[in-house]
Structure 1
Amino acid sequence: MDQQYGGDQARTIGGDHLALRDQVLSELRRRIVDGDYAQGERLTENRLAEDFGVSRNPVREALRVVETEGFVQILPRRGAVVATLDETAIRDLFAVRQQLETLAAGLAAERATEQDVARLRRLLEEASAATEAKDFDQVAELNSALHLAVIEISGNRWLTSLSAAMYHHVHWVFRLGAAQRAPHSWEEHIRVVDAIAAGDREAAAEAARLHVEAAATAALHPD
């Protein structure tokens, strides 16, 4: 009886621990992306544990994950600090985006169903409404949602796998300049979706390429 109770207790604690780590990870990542924790800001385990109302263990595990994702750097004598999006990091990100997104848009144009196109149109409508309302947190969420939807519609599982981690950083970069980029980004997205709806692979790939180039220019030269 005692042995069975102990086994159940161990499984329950283990499950809760993993869930707690994931919750801390999600919230830590969100606060970095949304700028609540600024680039270069020091993040101690004690401070984060207090911010999230948890022990240091799930914080320590979450910090390891965001370090591997590139959101945090561990520096000598300083510990964990929020990474800085310098010009090299931004250029590298957009170089990969251009390759992945042009391929994804072209494949999506070949493979999209009517339901897929309707899904993309709904995201465009929601993004338009969020832009009008100046809800730039929502605009950033919808920006990532649209790109990830195109990648999913492409039907290429390798693109989906490669893009999953990258789009946290895409969201981060977009959020920094969302107020300026949102109206232009929405118009560029319309061209991509229109080409996908028309089944025109070359036009979709070209619209995606031009969109990524415009986004890169805006990120590198915000003024």
Structure 2
Amino acid sequence: MHTPNKKFAIYQEILQRLLTRRYRFGEKIFVKEIGESTGVSRQPIMTALNSLQERGFVQIIAQVGCQVVQPSSDEVADFYRMFANTEGLIASLAAERGTPMEVARLQELNEQIARINPAHSDASESYRNLNVDFHRLLHAMARSPIVSTRQMANFELSDFFIVQSCGFQAHLPDVTGEHDEIIAALSTRNDKQCKKAAMAHIDSVSRHVIEAMQRLHSEEMAATV
């Protein structure tokens, strides 16, 4: 890995492994293996893993090592309650501060999401990328960079939970309609309705994730009987 900023690059490399399910809930992460596959020394790798621990992706245990987190469905539900409330705040600010041109661009992005063919092998990645673009623009419309920066970190963790449980395609049939509700409220500068629509959108994602986690847990328990 030849780059002027190895710490950032190795952080992104490990994050992508988490977001593509190369590392799964509860799995150990071996520093030696990462070093051998990337050519990066131990110190930048540990710096990256510590940053990922701070963001909720991994857990570093003294004398044991590093492993991917394995949260309960209740813990994930709590996360999404916080996530939804923050997204609702951002959406309400966007309704007050956004421009018609920005609303039109959101509509364009949502139309691109609607055209994704679920049968294509790249459907999940296309949806994830366009959804990130949609919400980045929504956040920019809020004109509140501190809140938006914190929330985008939550989006990465949410994407991680989605990948580890239901997958992005589970929510694809619902997302454009939910985005339309947000866009409609933005168009009329209805901040209360915009907050409600944004929170409902995140709550919908949460249901898919938690139901999948509970189903996977039940299957694992049945397999041990």
Same fold? TM cut 0.5? yes
Residues 90 and 148, structure 2, Cα contact 8 Å, conserved in 1: no
Which secondary structure state, in structure 2, belongs to the residue aligned with residue 130 of structure 1? coil
Aligned to 1:63: 49
Residues 1:203 and 1:29: Cα distance change in structure 2 (over 3 Å): same
Structure holding more helix per residue: 1
What is the aligned partner in structure 1 of residue 220 from structure 2? none
Alpha carbons of structure 1 residues 119 and 71: separation in structure 2 relative to 1, 3 Å: same
Aligned residue pairs total 208
Structure-2-length-normalised TM-score: 0.83
Match of 2:40 in 1: 54
Counterparts in 2 of 1:21 and 1:185: CA distance versus 1, 3 Å: same
CA distance in 1, matches of 2:75, 2:139: 22
Structure 2 Cα separation of the partners of residues 36 and 121 of structure 1: 33
The answer for the alignment partner of 2:112 in structure 1 is 126
- Render the CA deviation track for 1:40-95: whole Å, top value 9, x for unaligned: 11111101112223222321221111111111101354300011242133112211
Residue 84 of structure 2 contacts residue 199 of structure 2 at CA under 8 Å; is this kept in 1? yes
Larger deviation, residues 166-175 vs 37-46:
166-175
Given the two structures, how large is their TM-score scaled by the length of structure 1?
0.84
- Distance (whole Å) between structure 2 residues aligned to residue 164 and residue 210 of structure 1: 18
Q: Which residue of the partner structure matches residue 142 of structure 2?
A: 154
Give me the identity figure in percent.
Answer: 23
Matched, 1:170 2:158: yes
Q: Does 1:143 align with 2:131?
A: yes
Pairing 1:42-121 to 2, within 5 Å after superposition: 42-121=28-107
Q: Give the match for residue 204 of structure 2.
A: 214
CA 1:43 to 1:132, structure 2 compared with 1: closer, same or farther past 3 Å?
closer
Say whether residues 1:183 and 2:173 are aligned partners: yes
Letter matched to residue 38 of structure 1: R
Query: How much has 1:188 moved relative to structure 2?
Result: 0.7
1:102 and 1:42 map into 2 onto residues whose CA distance is: 35
CA drift of 1:26 comes to: 0.6
Distance 1:114 1:132 in 2: 30
SS in 2 for 1:126: helix
Question: Does residue 186 of structure 2 align to residue 196 of structure 1?
Answer: yes
Structure having the higher Rg: 1
Task: Verify the 8 A CA contact 1:40 1:81 in the aligned structure 2.
Answer: yes
SS in structure 2 at match of 1:38: coil
Distance in 2 between the 1:54 and 1:194 partners? 48
Pick which of 29-38 and 126-135 moved more. Answer: 126-135
**80 and 98 in structure 1: CA distance in 2 versus 1, 3 angstrom threshold:** same
How far the C-alpha of 1:158 sits from its partner, in A, is 3.3
Contact preservation (8 Å) 2:87, 2:151: no
* Match in the other structure for 2:195: 205
Unaligned runs of 5+ residues in structure 2 are: 216-225
Mapped contact 1:97–1:212 kept (Cα < 8 A): yes
**Amino acid of the structure 1 residue aligned with 2:143:** G
In terms of mean alpha carbon deviation, does 42-51 or 159-168 score higher? 159-168
> How much is the aligned-residue C-alpha RMSD, in angstroms?
2.1
Q: SS in structure 1 opposite 2:115?
A: helix
- Could you tell me how far 1:139 is from its partner in structure 2? 1.0
Tell me which residue corresponds to 2:218. Answer: none
CA deviation string 1:86-122 (max 9, x = no partner): 2133112211112111111111112111221122122
